[in-house]
Amino acid sequence: MGIFSVLVFVCCCYCSFGWREEDQPVQTFVIPHSHMDVGWVYTIQESMHAYAANVYSSVTEELSKVKERRFIAVEQEFFRLWWDTVASDLQKKQVQQLVNDGRLEFILGGQVMHDEAVTDLEDQILQMTEGHGFLYQTFGVRPQFSWHVDPFGASATTPVLFALAGFNAHLISRIDYDLKDAMQRNKKLQFVWRGSPSLAAQQEIFTHTMDQFSYCTPSHLPFSNSSGFYWNGVALFPNPPKDGVYPNMSVPVTKETIDAYAKTMVENIKQRAAWFRTNHVLWPWGCDKQFYNSSVQFRNMDPLMKYINQKSKEFGVTVQYATLSQYFQAVHQANLTWDVRGSRDFLPYSTEPHQAWTGFYASRNVLKGLARRASSQLRAAEILFTRYRVNYPDGPVAKEWALDKLRALRWAVSEVQHHDGITGTESPKVADMYVQHLMQGMMGVQELQAALFLLPHDLGDPENFHGADVDQPLEQHVIIYNPLAWNITTVVNLTVKLAGAAVFDDEGQPVPAQIQRSAQSNVSYDLFVVVKLGGLQHRKYLIRFSGKSAHTYEGKTVVFERRRVKDWTRTGRLRLPVLNQCYKLMFDQETNLLHSITHLYSPTKRRVRMTQDFWEYLANGDVNAGPISDNYIFSANGSAVRAYQAVEMQIIPGQIVTEIRQYFYRGENDSDYAYFITTVVPEFSSLPCHRLQQTYSLGPLQLNTEVVLRTSTSLKNNKTLYTDDNGFQMMKRTYRKFQNNTLARNYFPMVRTASIKDELSGLVLLSDRAHGVSSQANGQLEVMLHRRLWNNQPWNLGYNLTLNDSSVVRPSLWMLLGSVNATSRLHQREAVELQHRPIVMPIDNPRKPWQEKTSCGSPVHPVVFPPNLHLLSLSVLGWNYSSNHSIHLSHILSGKGAPPEPDYDRVLLRIMHLYEEGEDPELSKPVTINIKEVLRGMGEVMILEERSLTGTWENASLKRWKWKTANDHEKKKESHQGHKDFILTISPKEIRTFFVHFSSRNLA
Ligand SMILES: [Zn+2]
């Protein structure tokens, strides 16, 4: 039916113009490109040296020689490194000219081509903002098309963000092999995608799915042993060859070979033309690490294209060098009516029946956790610096120094979002590189935070701040800072070295606390402190270690001896309750496992049977014995097996929290445990009682095991689960049966949230880093926490991609259980609160002024947003382009470029509505706020301009292309875009971006 209707439609369309499709030669857009992974097998430095710098040097030279030649530049990190450290003045001039002429086109424009499965939307936006800011400042251009050719599966968040960034079309490639096959046959590779159910047509985008050849030129030539159209061969590491002769260079185009080349190319073009509705073929010319020797590339392709065009009648094909925008313009001008795709994504992703790319959701857990922590720290520091700039424009913290620290961490957090970065699919040395860049950036930002907190009263040299452990004898000061624009009451766990402690706030009032022996160390103690902070506020706390305090409860450990666990012992006859205002948790004394949780806080009380424990998938390491698991692929070799024989338990009942510690032993008599769960149940009355905080410890794992935390419940979810796309929206995941590999193909990425539910209750897990999740049995939710693998596949071994990860990992999950309504109201905010937990900064040797009540810095007024709005970003970007495009352009065209001084007064503000339409009766409503009012605690807002997502464009003048769809009449009227007198209304799932100027005040 699909094919038939399409054919009829195409025929009608063309017949009405009096000519037939077949009469026209296929118009082919040959798009030269180089896929440059910002990481993967080689470090960035190695890549720059071996090929990446040569790509831009040689492309600049070759494009400048012949005006028909084109190139698209994609990953900004390499381009910027080249621009800043390699390019000569002449090359910079040439690039400027090529960009102005549209011969060199920046596509996508992010620092990297970010992964779509395991990245958080806040980081996706960050890395795009970073790249777009550079491009706009330097060239006055904004990228308008995407080129997501390599991320492993496609998320429904991406089309939304790209629409918000002002893109006219989106391009993806890696989707399930069987689905792509069907779409190809039915000419359905192109469609209009409405990625968000709430935003729908408001942020829809035309999407092109690459055909089966994907982003590389066909790699086989029938007349030669060499591969494809790669005349410059393959990049050589570590050094480029001195004689310019690279391995595997294709036979040159000569009189003898030109006809064979032409026929091969034409045949391929015609094969592809049959899969698309218009008469245009996108023919990507390039692949990984190509065009480092552009001269030989173009020298061969120029005559070949000329030859084909001379015989275009005979071949039925014309060819031209093109940028991506030229291709999309042609398709757009065809003015066809396109199918609409709703908010479904393309995750997970399989390349073959036994190749499910669901392993990487859990590869390199430590890197995934670090990347998220770094991002959260960056956001907190950005807000802090913004506040400082507004209040102390002439304050003693040097703004250049501060911006450098922020920029270094922006760069590191952007870089790791690469699709071979946070995914964990890189070689060990590249993983080490990301970690090093992140750690360096975080240290710099900690220095900055220390400087900002201690000033203006204490002008201590930030370089001399030690950020030491909380282990000062007798007295210790800490600053606790809430980076959220909501008031919070929460519990902060400080690790201390002494057993008795009293905590006081900055007004000298005692603060409720609890102290007990640390879960994982014999020499330290966990001090749980109840903190109450306004939005974006910080407070100073004093800890006195001398003696006891009436306000500090001393937790005493109750030990439950080791129990051997067998299925038949799970009788639940001897149960031990742990109670708070929201829950009654029952632990089974015969197994030391969780037995059930009754949720008490919803209108409907209900007891849900629930067990949590660890299971292992045993991976195959021998390619000759069957499918293997590696960095990318999860290929279960049978069902999971229970990973322990015995469990020990400790319970520390308390007044602030009750803590349950469960130690899982692989062997009944082992001396060391293999897995560990600690569950913190809030007891203090002002704490949110629904939040059960769990932390796990596992590793080093045995080789070829993939470990899951399995939560088995009595919920009747029919193996359906819900997982989030990038923390932006929840996707329903219905269990699907496949001929092969059903287990692995039912694994999904969890960035922040996974949940299961039945009619009465929902169970939600929130995460501080990405994992793989699945529901393999009714009522079950399993989270893959860690993997350690090795296999003998030559490709894996050659690139060191077997994932022999011997680290110990300590991820956290927050668990919510309640009525379906209660959990669907809570989980968005809880996920954000987990992401942006309070920042704790110990202060060494607090100096005099800090001891006085009057000196807790400036009055820090709270900034509080409505509960359904999240302050996504508040940051002094430092880019110095004019907000007025014509003025900025005239600066650039005058040859002077943008002024060198960063703009410290323009603040980027981003606000997100957290709820979907209809998700909650109250919280899903549009919210109207007065920006002047909500930001008053920060300063006086004078100017507010609405901008595109990455800040580079005035929102009102974006004018994205419209693409016709069958149900155009269903398009909603434009929502409440724009604002008047600082008053704006934000609708469900909207992300709104502004430039804000505050009136200058100087409190210093
Ligand atoms: Zn790649």
Distance 117 CA to ligand 1 centre (A): 14
Distance 114 CA to ligand 1 centre (A): 9
Same fold, 2-217+224-356 and 466-554: no
CA dihedral defined by 413, 418, 422, 427, rounded to 10 degrees?
Answer: -120
Q: Give the CA diameter of the chain.
A: 95
Give the C-alpha separation, 447 to 874, whole Å.
19
943: how many CB neighbours lie within 10 A of its CB?
Answer: 15
For residue 529, the SS3 value is: strand
**Is CATH 3.30.70.920 correct for 2-217+224-356?**
no
**Whole-number percent of the chain with pLDDT over 70:** 92
Distance 76 CA to ligand 1 centre (A): 14
Of residues 226 and 918, the one with the higher pLDDT is 918
Give the C-alpha separation, 613 to 644, whole Å.
9
Give the C-alpha separation, 12 to 41, whole Å.
51
Distance 16 CA to ligand 1 centre (A): 43
Distance 150 CA to ligand 1 centre (A): 5
The 10 Å CB-count burial string (b at 16+, else e) for 668-692 is eeeeebbbbbbbbbbbbeebbbbbb
Q: ∠ CA(402), CA(404), CA(407), 5° rounding?
A: 110
Give the C-alpha separation, 191 to 678, whole Å.
47
The answer on pLDDT for 652 being more than 70 is yes
Structurally, at CATH architecture level, domain 466-554 sits in: Sandwich (2.60)
- Report, as an integer, the average pLDDT of 338-365: 97
Nearest alpha carbon to residue 454 among 498, 382, 523, 396: 396
Tens-digit pLDDT profile for residues 179-206: 999 999 999 999 999 999 999 999 999 9
Residue 406, pLDDT score: 98
The one-letter code for the residue type at 123 is D
Distance 421 CA to ligand 1 centre (A): 10
Return mean pLDDT, the chain.
92
Distance 356 CA to ligand 1 centre (A): 17
Tens-digit pLDDT profile for residues 667-713: 999 999 999 999 999 999 999 999 999 999 999 999 999 999 999 99
Nearest alpha carbon to residue 727 among 809, 818, 833: 833
Distances (CA, A) of 840 to 468, 478, 495, 541, 952: 11, 7, 11, 10, 34
Residue 972, pLDDT score: 57
- Mean pLDDT comparison of 340-344, 598-602, 974-978, highest-scoring range: 340-344
CATH topology of domain 558-835: Beta-galactosidase; Chain A, domain 5 (2.70.98)
The backbone torsions φ and ψ at residue 116, rounded to the nearest 5 degrees and listed phi first, read -105, -15
Residue 467, pLDDT score: 37
Tens-digit pLDDT profile for residues 609-643: 999 999 999 999 999 999 999 999 999 878 999 99
Distances (CA, A) of 93 to 97, 103, 231, 533, 747: 6, 14, 28, 52, 50
Q: How far apart are the first and last CA of the chain?
A: 73
Active-site residue 903, yes or no? Answer: no
- Report, as an integer, the average pLDDT of 955-968: 91
- Report, as an integer, the average pLDDT of 979-993: 93
Tens-digit pLDDT profile for residues 262-284: 999 999 999 999 999 999 999 99
Residue pair 964/352 in contact by the 8 Å Cβ criterion: no
Distance 38 CA to ligand 1 centre (A): 8
Distance 943 CA to ligand 1 centre (A): 41
- Report, as an integer, the average pLDDT of 638-664: 97
Distance 373 CA to ligand 1 centre (A): 24
Distance 422 CA to ligand 1 centre (A): 13
The answer on pLDDT for 20 being more than 50 is no
Distance 670 CA to ligand 1 centre (A): 44
Residue 626, phi-psi category: left (phi > 0), alpha (psi -120 to 50), beta (remainder): left
Structure-token pair, residue 392: 């102390």
Distance 846 CA to ligand 1 centre (A): 49
CA dihedral defined by 596, 601, 604, 605, rounded to 10 degrees?
Answer: 30
Q: pLDDT band for position 859 (50/70/90)?
A: low
Residue 198, pLDDT score: 96
The answer on pLDDT for 462 being more than 80 is no
Distance 151 CA to ligand 1 centre (A): 7
| Cross-strand bridge partners of residue 650 | 559, 661
Q: Where are the domains of the chain?
A: 2-217+224-356, 466-554, 558-835
Nearest alpha carbon to residue 402 among 454, 463, 447: 447
Q: How far is CA 741 from the centre of its chain?
A: 27
Distance 231 CA to ligand 1 centre (A): 21
Distance 419 CA to ligand 1 centre (A): 6
Tens-digit pLDDT profile for residues 798-829: 999 989 999 999 999 999 999 999 999 999 99
Q: How far is CA 737 from the centre of its chain?
A: 29
Distance 37 CA to ligand 1 centre (A): 5
Tens-digit pLDDT profile for residues 725-773: 999 999 999 999 999 999 999 999 999 999 999 999 999 999 999 999 9
Q: Which of 120, 123, 150, 805 is catalytic?
A: 150
Q: pLDDT band for position 876 (50/70/90)?
A: very high
Going by DSSP bridges, is the β-strand pair 771-774/748-750 parallel, antiparallel, or unpaired?
A: antiparallel
535: how many CB neighbours lie within 10 A of its CB?
Answer: 20
Q: pLDDT band for position 549 (50/70/90)?
A: confident
Q: pLDDT band for position 854 (50/70/90)?
A: very low
- Residues constituting the chain: 1004
- Report, as an integer, the average pLDDT of 437-446: 97
The answer on pLDDT for 600 being more than 60 is yes
Distance 149 CA to ligand 1 centre (A): 8
